């Protein structure tokens, strides 16, 4: 039988109102009474009903997550997305929040469908991944607190947390040049996604700043998934010559490319060096281990949680634009798939 606050009140010898005040941290309760009630709460393993909490706090303690996986078809099987969501979950859990994952929709009215579902579930805030600002333009006009992860989202109660995708790729190009690489190629990702565009932009900027010529034959679509990486490597090997190093816009596609090159008898990094982007767990497990531009998922998870809480606790439009735009730096991680890149 479920324990109620009446059971706690009876055993503690206090009123139901007093128990309610203790559970909701009201200050007008004596220390001895508070300690006695909390001890009985622990002993009886009392768990408050979510509906009752909602009546008191006006919140469901639930955060929605919308991940539009139709771009690459991988959904949560995309390793970096899974790591990122896990980091966010850890921080949200510490604050007593659950996360509710909303599914994809191919409907042309999916913005309204998502908003209807969000309102039906009474979520307190929403996180967006793998989508575009223009795809969510109507929802972003409303008062639901929204944070975009690696996607720019603006609105009266919206903000975003994004890695320095362009700067991270610029840095990778400069390090490749400093290591003596002159022939540099790129496996780019789905350009409809801001992160992929920024990384590609960083490649071109880094090449211009280094004064190196860009060979279009070595610029190939590599996607954000393993199979796209294998196909990109196959197409590149049809060329008369290979670049000395290939910069990939995702670790998982870089690992796919490594597999294809190795199966063709090429040595990494002797015949061709590989650099990824993300620093997924598998990057350090493959052989040779993958040099990469690391995104700090722990720091991103903390930033997303902090920003969403601030949006939820601030009046609509009261936060400065600069406070709603969080950029997280990347870090270069040198491993065995390159030579002399430090």
| Angstrom distance (rounded) from CA 245 to CA 70 | 30
The pLDDT, as a whole number, for residue 114 is: 79
Tokens 């990486």 found at: 229
Q: Spell out, as residue ranges, where the chain has pLDDT lower than 70.
A: 1, 24-25, 47-59, 69-77, 105-110, 133
Q: Do domains 62-163+297-328 and 165-295 have the same CATH topology?
A: yes
Residue 134, SS3 per DSSP: helix
Topology annotation, domain 165-295: Rossmann fold (3.40.50)
Beta-strand ranges (E) seen in the chain are 62-67, 98-102, 125-129, 146-149, 158-163, 184-188, 219-221, 245-248, 273-278, 291-294, 325-328, 331-333
Token output for 275: 């650099």
The pLDDT, as a whole number, for residue 32 is: 87
Burial string for 89-108 (b: 16+ CB within 10 Å, else e) reads bebbeeeebeebebeeeeee
- The answer as to CATH 3.40.50.300 being correct for domain 62-163+297-328 is no
Token output for 222: 């590599």
β pairing state of 125-129 and 98-102: unpaired
Token output for 7: 């059971």
Residue-range domain boundaries for the chain: 5-48, 62-163+297-328, 165-295
The pLDDT, as a whole number, for residue 58 is: 58
| Angstrom distance (rounded) from CA 206 to CA 126 | 35
> What number of other Cβ atoms are within 10 A of residue 15's Cβ?
11
**Is 17 buried (19+), middle (13-18) or exposed (0-12) by CB count in 10 A?**
exposed
Q: pLDDT per residue over 32-88, tens digit each? A: 888 888 888 888 887 666 545 554 555 678 998 888 765 555 566 678 888 888 999
The pLDDT, as a whole number, for residue 209 is: 97
| Angstrom distance (rounded) from CA 128 to CA 118 | 13
> What number of other Cβ atoms are within 10 A of residue 242's Cβ?
18
The architecture of the domain spanning 5-48 is Orthogonal Bundle (1.10)
- Phi and psi at 148, nearest 5°, equal -90, 135
Token output for 4: 């109620």
């Amino acid at each position: 039988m479920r324990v109620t606050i009446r059971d706690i009140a009876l055993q503690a010898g206090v009123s139901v109102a007093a128990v309610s005040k203790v559970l909701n941290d009201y200050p007008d309760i004596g220390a001895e009474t508070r300690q006695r009630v909390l001890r009985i709460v622990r002993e009886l393993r009392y768990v408050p009903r979510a509906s009752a909490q909602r009546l008191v706090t006006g919140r469901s303690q639930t955060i929605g997550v919308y991940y539009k996986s139709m771009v690459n078809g991988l959904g949560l099987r995309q390793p970096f997305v899974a790591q990122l969501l896990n980091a966010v979950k850890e921080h949200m859990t510490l604050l007593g929040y659950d996360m509710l994952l909303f599914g994809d929709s191919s409907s042309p009215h999916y913005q309204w469908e998502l908003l209807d579902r969000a309102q039906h579930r009474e979520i307190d805030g929403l996180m967006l991944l793998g989508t575009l600002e223009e795809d969510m333009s109507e929802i972003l006009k409303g008062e639901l607190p929204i944070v975009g992860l690696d996607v720019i989202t603006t609105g009266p109660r919206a903000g975003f947390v994004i890695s320095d995708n362009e700067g991270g790729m610029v840095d990778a190009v400069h390090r490749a040049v400093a290591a003596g690489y002159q022939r540099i190629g790129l496996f780019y990702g789905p350009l409809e996604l801001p992160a992929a565009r920024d990384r590609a932009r960083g490649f071109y900027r880094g090449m211009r700043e280094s004064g190196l010529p860009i060979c279009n034959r070595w610029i190939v679509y590599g996607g954000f998934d393993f199979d796209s990486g294998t196909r990109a490597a196959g197409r590149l090997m049809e060329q008369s010559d290979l670049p000395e190093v290939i910069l990939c816009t995702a670790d998982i596609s870089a690992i796919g490319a490594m597999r294809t090159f190795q199966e063709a008898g090429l040595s990494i990094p002797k015949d061709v060096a590989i650099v990824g982007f993300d620093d997924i767990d598998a990057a350090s497990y493959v052989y040779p281990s993958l040099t990469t531009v690391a995104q700090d998922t722990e720091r991103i998870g903390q930033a997303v949680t902090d920003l969403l809480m601030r949006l939820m606790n601030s009046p609509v439009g009261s936060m400065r634009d600069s406070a709603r735009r969080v950029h997280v730096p990347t870090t270069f991680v040198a491993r065995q798939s390159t030579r002399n890149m430090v």
